Structure 1
Amino acid sequence: MGVVEKHASVLSQEQFEELARLAVRVEEALRLEFINGKIGEKALPDGDHGRIIQWLTRLCIQANADWWLHGDQGLRVETYRNGNARPDVCLAPSDNFVGQGEWADADGVLMAVEVTSRDHDTNRRDRVEKPKAYAETGIPVYLLIDRDTCEVKVHSQPDGGRYEMLLTVPFGKTVTLPDPVGIDLDTEPLKDWVH
């Protein structure tokens, strides 16, 4: 058990934020999150991951020019323990985070998006902890682009503790993201970015 794991339960929100600032200075290839009272690490994305975000950004802006996929914006998630998560991107109005700091309130976020990475924490982080945290926060849609299973997983209808609806489709199918997003995604291009 590492030092961070051993002391994760005794860290305050302020201590976590200081640790995150130090980690950025020490290692640029690591991101820290504080979800459900536990510190997690997240590897930086690869080129295919970046291409998927580009593809999704174009689709979202075509649907509504006032929206933006905000990358690297930290969000305060969960009503309990004041957690922090850094989605790969989150869909919100362009000005949604103006005047807010590194860890912003999630009000106004329409959708949180994660693209799975090739690291040991993907299952726990992207498939278990983040859907719960985003639902608790009331983010209407959580989109998981799962490169391991070649599926798109659309979570919607948060009830304060979990998402009531989960729609899973294989890459190659078209899926409609529910309101308030309301975009049809033809996922065929995703097949090219799962290396």
Structure 2
Amino acid sequence: MTQSTFEELARVGDRLSDALRLEFIDGKIGEKALPDGDHGRIIEWLTRRCIQTDVGWWLYPDQGLRVETYRKGNARPDGVLAPSGTFVGQGEWAGTEGVLMTVEVTSHDSDTDQRDRVEKPRAYAEAGIPVYLLIDRVAGEVKVHSQPGDGRYDVVTTVTFGKTVMLPDPVGFELATEPLKDWVH
């Protein structure tokens, strides 16, 4: 399937369905369930924390990104941390230049394991995104992926909910994960 065919299919799908979103990673179409209220609250909480660190940043929810350097792919992270205005004029599927961090919050669907824990870290690393933050509601832990190189992140730090974890540069702040315990239903 070509990139343009996927984009047309995604546009049609967006008009037809309120239940899922499409992504194109590793040459395969995948579907992503729409978030629940706890998922939305986690993104709200993280957005506030990011802009407290730097008022020039914004955590863009559901910004489509072109990922994978060797295979044209499209992902729609739950959040994309970038300087305000980074995606102006880029359309639905933007480049990754200026992206500081991508964020995924696991959903309660059958594809979460493969999509959020395997495919997306690889795609984000290939795209050179400095930090990938996975908030894993199923495992009750946060994984911080950093130092992308050779199609993977060389450093992965895992903490259970309730502990503090450092989000490395260029993000560069500590994230206290205690509040996440309230949103894992």
TM-score interval, smaller chain = over 0.9
Q: How many residues align?
A: 185
TM-score, normalized by length of structure 1? 0.94
Cα drift, residue 29 of structure 1: 1.5
Cα drift, residue 183 of structure 1: 1.3
**Equivalence map 1:95-106=2 (5 Å):** 95-106=85-96
Which runs of 5 or more residues in structure 1 are unaligned?
A: 1-10
Tell me the residue number matched to 2:177: 187
- Structure 1: 4+ residue segments shifted above 3 A: none
Q: Percent identity?
A: 74
**1:31-54 Cα deviation digits (max 9, x unpaired):** 000000000000000000000001
- Say which SS state the counterpart of residue 18 (structure 1) adopts: helix
**Equivalence map 1:86-165=2 (5 Å):** 86-165=76-155
Tell me the residue number matched to 2:40: 50
Cα drift, residue 158 of structure 1: 0.0
| 2-structure distance, mates of 1:72, 1:149 | 23
- Say which SS state the counterpart of residue 87 (structure 1) adopts: coil
**1:58-107 Cα deviation digits (max 9, x unpaired):** 10000000000001210000011210000001000011001111000010
| 1-structure distance, mates of 2:102, 2:139 | 19
| 1-structure distance, mates of 2:77, 2:8 | 19
In structure 2, what residue type is equivalent to 1:117?
Answer: S
- Equivalent pair of 1:138/1:160 in contact (CA under 8 Å): no
| 2-structure distance, mates of 1:122, 1:37 | 18
Does residue 1:81 correspond to 2:71, yes or no? yes
- Say which SS state the counterpart of residue 53 (structure 1) adopts: helix
Cα drift, residue 15 of structure 1: 0.5
| 2-structure distance, mates of 1:183, 1:48 | 23
Tell me the residue number matched to 2:19: 29
TM-score, normalized by length of structure 2? 0.99
